[in-house]
Structure 1
Amino acid sequence: MSLPASDAYERYRGPEFRRLLGAARRSLERNGGEITGSIGLTNPTTEERNAIIGITGAYRSADVRRVSLPLAALDQNVRNVTGASLRDVLERTGPPLRFRADERSAIDQARQRLLAEGEASALHAENPWYKEWLSGLASDGTITGLINKKDERLLSQAIRVLEYIYARASGSPPVMLAALADATTGNTKALNPGQGSLPTLVLRALATARGVPLEAGAEARRELWDAFDVIVDDLASRVLVLNLPAAGRGLGEWLTDAARYGTPFHVTLHQLVTLPVTVHVPRVYVCENPAVLRRAAGELGASSSPLICAEGRPSTAFHRLARLIVNGGGRLLYHGDFDWPGIDMTNQLIGRYGAEPWKMSAEDYLEGLRTEDDHVVLSGKARSTSWDPRLSNAMQEHQAAVYEEGVADALLADWGDQL
């Protein structure tokens, strides 16, 4: 069939047909393209009313509040004028028709395919967190959103990234984020911030695996990658050290020289990976706040016990050095803030390295309350203190935090001359 003249279509671009064709479009999309039932207009304009009279041949008074007509009558009118069907005219004068039932069916089928792919991963059978992550993506509309954006491949890539992370042997060297992205997607930048939904999908899974919420911000995301030995920047990941001699060329020599002079030393993950060291120190203290280590350096110098500082949340460099100490036969004695994040960190270091809480008893907490005048109210989820259950009870009773720098005098008293 030859195409109708373009001016035949122009008739239906006028304002008198705009709402009428809109109603026709909704009807066809709802009914899979079937010409069935009636459509109508509420409070029609004079032009709209006259157009409907012209289509049906039936008079409608000027005061009518709603006019309707069979969809078949509109289709026949369109065919008489243009030689084409109503569907053809709608798609010629507007976007293609979207048949909702067909789209829903296609989306449901695509969703089932993606879920089946996710469930086929070995992670599904072995890790409850993975099931929770996949179920969450399905229930909150994330998978449907990927389908609508034609980004289904991103779920497949996220699964490959997670499988790669979990397939790495325990104790393996950390992997750079760019190398991880290249190995799993072929694009070194695919997991960088701002690269679409893939980084968020993976980080959401890692947060679920750790049992923590996915927080916004570059620092929180870096810490989450670090927790799985994925390094966003091996120069930015570092640990602060005081008086920790070590064996090994380069870094080992620097650490030993710094300990000789009682000088604080920042060790980067890059140094720990490229300049391997061994550490054979029987006892190493761990603090949370760098201000405390700074005081130890200034007041005790080379006579201070060996210290490493988490500087807030431990970095991958911290964890790598902590493993070296423990593997060399050393014990970690940890002190942190008496707040719920500090208690959570204590629990993590106990579980990961067998660290011993040091000056972290209920008595130490209560003494800190007595010596500090300005107290911050505790916030966040209460944590258990298995090494001293009274501590958690006391903190919940007093609802006040005691920060490490506020009890530094007591810490320094024990650190002096203990080598």
Structure 2
Amino acid sequence: MTEAAETYERYRGPEFRRLMAAARRSLERSGGEIEGSIGLTNPTTAERDAVIGITGTYRSVDVRRITISLSVLEKSVRTVTGMSLRDVLERIGPELRFRACERTTLEQTRHKILAESERSPLHTGHPWYRQWLAVLASDGTITALINKKDTHVLRQAVRVLEFLHSRPSGSPPVMLPSLADTTTGDTKALNHGRGSLPTLVLRALAMARGIPLATGAESRRELWDAFDVIVDDLASRVLVLNLPATGRGLGQWLTDAARYGTPFQITLHQLITLPIAVNLPTVYVCENPAVLRRAAGELGASSPPLICAEGRPSTAFHRLARLIVDNGGLLRYHGDFDWPGIAMTNALRIRYGAEPWRMNSADYLNGVRTDTEHVPLSGQSQDTPWDPTLAETMAKERLAVYEEAVADTLLKDWTPSANRTTEEFG
């Protein structure tokens, strides 16, 4: 060890340890300025002797706290080592961190990142995007990204969101690896567990839908599905009954299943790899699989064509619905008489021109009378443009009526013995 090293190594000793730690804290607070004093409470004999050696002033053994001017300590350290107090502290390690400077730099970086994110076109027309940025700024997320030197992740998240919201309506679904590759250059960047990027994007998408970000693989898949992003083309499915179609493989299977009145689960993978054409003037849509199950069990092959949204339409559902509508077919939809069910009705009306079926105020009141559950209506109210009195009646009655409770009425419409045409069903 060199003589210079020996001179500053002495300050690692136990008699100097607390003194140098106090000096470090003082310099970090002041930005490196040698000012003020530091002190030791209940000093040991070795610590007291060290301070006496530095200052040349005797300190009594019964003194509970001794102080020393930083300028005096600086002068003593320079005399002993030929180096400044700051140099010695950094030789001992770790490097000094000047908190005020760090805070200033952090704040400047935060402002820069936010300003860059606010230049996105999404910032102007989408309140959820502004809310997302505000939450990231207030909950420490952006600070954490800065500290981890991961600020590029926020820029990537913005690119993903811009890509999803710039896609034309009716665009085909995109596979998650393809989305990741297009926006980040890494096909696995949006996989769950791959850093903070997937969570950042999903938080934004949940805000865009006005829902809390739920945990679990299924919830994540459903949220991606809502924006036509396919996480797993085998997991995305749609349940159908009596939906004959043309096309190799899948078209044949659907036609055979309809011949026997057998429900059939179509995967998104099948819809993509085995294209079909559906040539039907009218297809009924229900929200709950229990209704389709009853139709299969009680009507079998005589039931009209039926597809099921299963609570929340999947990407497979949307792809199939688009096939039907683009070929001239009409979707007639029935769902729950609750606010999420009404929201879904509106969404299908807007997206596919779907016609609400058995979804007027009289149908609702009939359901209220026959339903024994009496579940309170909750959530954000929705408009019902096809029958404005429906929303008013639901708000007045304050009861939800789930689809299963009115299944008898639905099946009665579908029964061939009713001698009704599709157009007569109201």
TM-score normalised by structure 2 residue count: 0.89
Deviation at 1:318, TM superposition (A): 0.5
SS of equivalent to 1:266:
strand
1:13-412 alignment runs, 5 A limit: 13-412=12-411
Structure 1 residues 388 and 172: CA distance shift in structure 2, 3 A: closer
Q: Which piece of structure 1 moves more, 108-117 or 282-291? A: 108-117
Separation of aligned partners in 1, 2:205 and 2:257: 37
RMSD: 2.6
SS of equivalent to 1:80:
helix
Structure 1 residues 384 and 47: CA distance shift in structure 2, 3 A: farther
Deviation at 1:313, TM superposition (A): 0.9
Task: Tell me the matched-pair count.
Answer: 418
Separation of aligned partners in 2, 1:47 and 1:345: 77
Q: Residues 52-71 of structure 1: CA distance to partner in whole angstroms, max 9, x if unpaired?
A: 23322223344444332111
Deviation at 1:312, TM superposition (A): 1.6
Q: Which piece of structure 1 moves more, 296-305 or 328-337? A: 328-337
Structure 2: tracts of 5 or more residues without a match:
none
Q: Which piece of structure 1 moves more, 171-180 or 386-395? A: 386-395
Deviation at 1:45, TM superposition (A): 4.3
Amino acid at match of 2:257: A
Q: Could you tell me whether the CA contact under 8 Å between 1:74 and 1:86 is conserved in 2?
A: yes
SS of equivalent to 1:145:
helix
Identical pairs, percent = 72
Structure 1 residues 347 and 15: CA distance shift in structure 2, 3 A: farther
Deviation at 1:151, TM superposition (A): 0.4
Deviation at 1:231, TM superposition (A): 0.4
Separation of aligned partners in 2, 1:164 and 1:389: 36
Q: Which piece of structure 1 moves more, 188-197 or 257-266? A: 257-266
Q: Could you tell me whether the CA contact under 8 Å between 1:4 and 1:83 is conserved in 2?
A: no
TM-score normalised by structure 1 residue count: 0.90
Structure 1 residues 53 and 399: CA distance shift in structure 2, 3 A: farther
Deviation at 1:321, TM superposition (A): 1.2
SS of equivalent to 2:292:
helix
Structure 1 residues 177 and 67: CA distance shift in structure 2, 3 A: same
Q: Which piece of structure 1 moves more, 263-272 or 187-196? A: 263-272
Q: Residues 295-353 of structure 1: CA distance to partner in whole angstroms, max 9, x if unpaired?
A: 10111011111111011211011111112222222222222223333233223222322
Deviation at 1:394, TM superposition (A): 4.6
Q: Could you tell me whether the CA contact under 8 Å between 1:157 and 1:198 is conserved in 2?
A: yes
Amino acid at match of 1:212: I
Structure 1: tracts of 5 or more residues without a match:
none
Separation of aligned partners in 1, 2:209 and 2:61: 69
Q: Could you tell me whether the CA contact under 8 Å between 1:284 and 1:306 is conserved in 2?
A: yes
Structure 1 residues 133 and 73: CA distance shift in structure 2, 3 A: same
Q: Which piece of structure 1 moves more, 224-233 or 255-264? A: 255-264
SS of equivalent to 1:248:
coil
Deviation at 1:366, TM superposition (A): 3.6
Separation of aligned partners in 1, 2:125 and 2:363: 41
Amino acid at match of 1:103: E
Separation of aligned partners in 2, 1:367 and 1:63: 91
Q: Residues 370-413 of structure 1: CA distance to partner in whole angstroms, max 9, x if unpaired?
A: 33334444444344444445444554555543322232212211
Q: Could you tell me whether the CA contact under 8 Å between 1:4 and 1:82 is conserved in 2?
A: no
Q: Could you tell me whether the CA contact under 8 Å between 1:248 and 1:276 is conserved in 2?
A: yes
Q: Which piece of structure 1 moves more, 379-388 or 305-314? A: 379-388
Amino acid at match of 1:211: G
Separation of aligned partners in 2, 1:298 and 1:186: 50
Deviation at 1:33, TM superposition (A): 1.2
Amino acid at match of 1:220: S
Q: Residues 258-295 of structure 1: CA distance to partner in whole angstroms, max 9, x if unpaired?
A: 22221111111112222222323222211111121111
Structure 1 residues 385 and 65: CA distance shift in structure 2, 3 A: farther
Deviation at 1:199, TM superposition (A): 0.7
